[in-house]
Amino acid sequence: MVKFALPAGSNPVKGKLHKNETGATNIRNFHIYRYDPDTGGSPQIDTFEVDLDICGPMVLDALIMIKDKMDSTLTFRRSCREGVCGSCSFNVDGTNTLACTKPIAEIKGDVKIYPLPHLPVIKDLVCDLSHPYAQYSAIEPWLKADTPPPERERLQSEEDRAKLDGLWECILCFCCQTSCMSYWWSGDRFYGSAVLLQADRWVQDSRDEAKGERLTELNDSYKLFRCHTIMNCTASCPKGLNPAKAIGHLKNQVARRE
Ligand code: FES
């Protein structure tokens, strides 16, 4: 039988226990992935005893409190704190989600926080998003039109505008993209669900005049058709969007042209 081994350093080991010595009684354990490229070695899972009585209700509130009061070296991205910027995406309690909109109360027992899966880790919970952003850039996410612009603006009917609902709301947090097994195995060439949802946003825009060119670019057994409708993307989107439906629409559009 073939035996597979994880590459050295990819298996997290038990880390440090950060005890709460204040006598607090409403304690919850947060197990958090730590990795510091400067010290090398295996990543570790540190445990923080968080006093929920002095912590805000969301997972991000706990991370901010841990950084403020328990370990200032804990590294993670965040900005808006209201589900708009997409920077606080982590794997929380086994599911990719936004820490700022995930209530601690929804999690039973200890809280486990890991970086988004299958992306290179820069430090602690910060992943390297260069590759997904390069893929996003490859779909040319801007309005393309050869028709000279009208004096004021390119108009759109209400019906055509409504076709963009469910697409424009994507905040590029990559929760969906990194929950997809096809993206784990073939992410070097498969565009992934967030990027394809964005591609559909431009294909569906009545003002864009490059639909044919966009579909030709996507007609590829990896870029688009490596999606096998596993649906993890739709299940994990913290904004309640449906990337699988957008991908289905793109596949349909490509097939209709042939
Ligand atoms: S901090 Fe902006 S989405 Fe969470």
Reported confidence tier of residue 10, pLDDT bands at 50, 70, 90: confident
- Residue 8 has a pLDDT of 66
Every domain range in the chain assigned CATH 3.10.20.30: 13-127
Q: Which amino acid is at 72?
A: S
**Which residue has tokens 């003002």?**
207
Going from the C-alpha of 33 to that of each of 56, 125, 126, 185, the distances in angstroms are 21, 7, 10, 23
Reported confidence tier of residue 11, pLDDT bands at 50, 70, 90: confident
Reported confidence tier of residue 255, pLDDT bands at 50, 70, 90: very high
The per-residue pLDDT for range 199-214, each reduced to its tens digit, is 999 999 999 999 999 9
Does the structure show a pLDDT above 90 at 89? yes
- The predicted model gives 56-75 an average pLDDT of 98
Question: Which of 89, 216, 192, 56 is closest to 66 using CA atoms?
Answer: 56
- The predicted model gives 167-188 an average pLDDT of 97
Top-level CATH class of 130-257? Answer: mainly alpha
Question: For a substitution probing ligand 1, which of 58, 77, 88 has the most ligand atoms within 8 Å of its CB?
Answer: 88
Q: How far is the CA of 219 from the centre of ligand 1 (A)?
A: 33
Reported confidence tier of residue 7, pLDDT bands at 50, 70, 90: low
Every domain range in the chain assigned CATH 1.10.1060.10: 130-257
Top-level CATH class of 13-127? Answer: alpha beta
Kindly provide the residue ranges of all beta strands, DSSP E only, lying in 83-225, ordered along the sequence: 89-92, 95-98, 111-114, 121-123, 126-127
Which residues does a 6 A CB cutoff place in the pocket of ligand 1? 78-81, 83-88, 98, 100
